[in-house]
């Protein structure tokens, strides 16, 4: 019995949250956790189980698995004082007490901000599975790491050329360099969060335009790829897109629609693509912008990118359009797309649509449960919609820009904003704000919950919250 208790943390708990959205369908709903907190105080520490320092900019969402938490950030936290300067970091903490375990450190790309924007760190949210984790580095690499780091005294291969090999550094298992292997030209940063299904990783490469924002330096490079999770070998690639408007910073989803397994990718041309996961062949595609929309530099046009992640729910795909937040707010569109059709389904697959004055540009991903859909736009509005019709139940002004996504946990909706406020609302057709709590720093991420604890990553700290 003692042995069982000792080894229990090595097995994934039922309440773990191992990837962006909890699973590959990316629906921002936690069906497991109960008694989630609605009150805590950052200054006094009331309701705070522990805190951990991150870098100075953190956009990676916390994921929790096998007693460990991974978060993407930058190197300004100087966890290793001997490694100074601007880097991309993934930090690993103990779920039990927040103690720092190890970090992966990635040097910046030599081309500078056109490929690797200063101080942005690692924005990809890892996928944790078995004894491995997978993420995209700031160097446009798909990286597989051992969850134990070098603390186990082993250097797992085939990759054995780690620059940093101390006990608090990452043990890299393999690396797939999308710049070297595929000629990918990431615009500003590569940020996609992997989807892992049946031993295969699905990913948006990040291929984008040059510094002048007019040309695509690597037009033959793919936008979507599938990679063997065990070996890091490329299985297939897909690049048959229209004009890449800017960068490609989104994330794929994976699910069954109309009885078919589908890998669903948001494209840098503003289209959603569903591909056969076995061979990468096109199943269907949908243009998320009106035919008369036009792309203009600086965000002045009416055609938009896809930055939010597609959500697969009830044989449909739910997604909204947006742009680089530096381009500001503007007219957006949000769609419910029938995922059971084939070919170019733009004219036939929209179950419903909100746009123009009804919805703004968004980087957020939807949360759907009990007939309700929650989505935010960059303007700072949280919408509660009828998932079947798209009709509005209510709209709440958060009075600050929103980069993250709403998440439903334990009958509550949690959403953070750029002012550092976390708003908690009742999951209901009627608007009811339960609380609003300031975290002391901007919240660009989405709250995660696992094993009775709520986790929120602010710009520079990770909070484990049990409530007051």
Per residue in 247-274, pLDDT (tens digit) is 999 999 999 999 999 999 999 999 999 9
Section 87-101 average pLDDT: 98
Better-scored residue on pLDDT, 269 or 3: 269
Task: Give the span between the Cα atoms of 380 and 21, in whole angstroms.
Answer: 21
Per residue in 233-243, pLDDT (tens digit) is 999 999 999 99
Q: Is the pLDDT of residue 5 over 70?
A: no
Structure tokens at 22: 């909890």
Task: Give the span between the Cα atoms of 105 and 143, in whole angstroms.
Answer: 11
Cis peptide before 158 (omega within 30 of 0): yes
Task: Give the span between the Cα atoms of 439 and 57, in whole angstroms.
Answer: 15
Asked if residues 169 and 103 have their Cβ atoms less than 8 Å apart, the reply is: yes
Residue 463 burial (CB count, 10 A): 25
Residue given tokens 């997978």 in the structure block: 134
**Strand pairing of 171-177 and 195-197?**
unpaired
Cis peptide before 131 (omega within 30 of 0): no
Kindly indicate the confidence band of residue 357, based on its pLDDT and cuts at 50, 70 and 90.
confident
Structure tokens at 295: 């792309």
What is the value of pTM for the model shown?
0.96
* Sequence-ordered list of residues with C-beta below 8 angstroms from that of 173, at least 6 positions apart, any chain: 132, 144, 145, 146, 156, 157, 158, 159, 232
Domains and CATH numbers, the chain: 2-465 (2.140.10.10)
């Amino acid at each position: 019995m003692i042995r069982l208790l000792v080894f229990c943390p090595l097995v994934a708990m039922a309440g773990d949250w191992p990837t962006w959205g909890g699973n590959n369908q990316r629906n921002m709903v936690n069906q497991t956790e109960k008694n989630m907190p609605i009150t805590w105080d950052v200054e006094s520490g009331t309701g705070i189980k522990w805190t951990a320092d991150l870098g100075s900019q953190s956009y990676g969402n916390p994921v929790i698995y096998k007693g460990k938490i991974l978060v993407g950030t930058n190197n300004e936290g100087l966890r290793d004082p001997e490694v100074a300067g601007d880097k991309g970091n993934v930090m690993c903490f103990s779920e039990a007490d927040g103690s720092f375990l190890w970090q992966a450190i990635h040097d910046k790309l030599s081309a500078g901000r056109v490929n690797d924007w200063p101080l942005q760190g690692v924005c990809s949210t890892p996928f944790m599975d078995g004894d491995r984790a997978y993420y995209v580095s700031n160097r446009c690499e798909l990286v597989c790491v051992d969850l134990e780091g070098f603390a186990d005294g082993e250097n797992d291969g085939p990759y054995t050329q780690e620059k940093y090999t101390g006990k608090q550094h990452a043990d890299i298992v393999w690396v797939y360099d999308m710049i070297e292997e595929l000629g990918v030209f990431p615009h500003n940063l590569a940020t996609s969060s992997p989807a892992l299904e049946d031993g295969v990783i699905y990913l948006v490469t990040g291929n984008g335009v040059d510094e002048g924002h007019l040309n695509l330096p690597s037009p033959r490079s793919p936008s979507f790829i599938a990679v063997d999770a065990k070996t890091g070998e490329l299985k297939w690639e897909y690049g048959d897109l229209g004009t890449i408007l800017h960068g490609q910073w989104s994330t794929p989803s994976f699910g069954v629609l109309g009885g078919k397994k589908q890998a669903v990718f948001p494209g840098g041309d503003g289209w959603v693509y569903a591909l056969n996961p076995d061979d990468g062949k096109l199943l269907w595609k949908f243009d998320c912008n009106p035919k008369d929309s036009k792309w203009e530099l600086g965000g002045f046009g009416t055609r938009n990118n896809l930055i939010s992640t597609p959500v697969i729910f009830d044989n449909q795909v739910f997604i909204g359009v947006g742009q680089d937040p530096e381009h500001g707010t503007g007219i957006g569109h949000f769609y419910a797309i029938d995922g059971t059709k084939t070919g170019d389904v733009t004219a036939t697959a929209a179950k419903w649509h909100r746009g123009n004055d009804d919805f703004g540009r968004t980087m957020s991903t939807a949360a759907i449960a009990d007939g309700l859909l929650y989505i935010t736009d960059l303007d700072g509005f949280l919408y509660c919609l009828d998932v079947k019709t798209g009709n509005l139940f209510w709209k709440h002004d958060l009075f600050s820009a929103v980069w993250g996504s709403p998440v439903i946990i334990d009958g509550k909706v949690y959403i953070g904003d750029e002012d550092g406020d976390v708003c908690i609302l009742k999951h209901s057709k009627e608007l009811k704000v339960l609380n609003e709590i300031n975290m002391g720093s901007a919240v660009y991420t989405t709250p995660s919950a696992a094993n009775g604890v709520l986790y929120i990553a602010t710009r520079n700290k990770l909070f484990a919250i049990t409530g007051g």
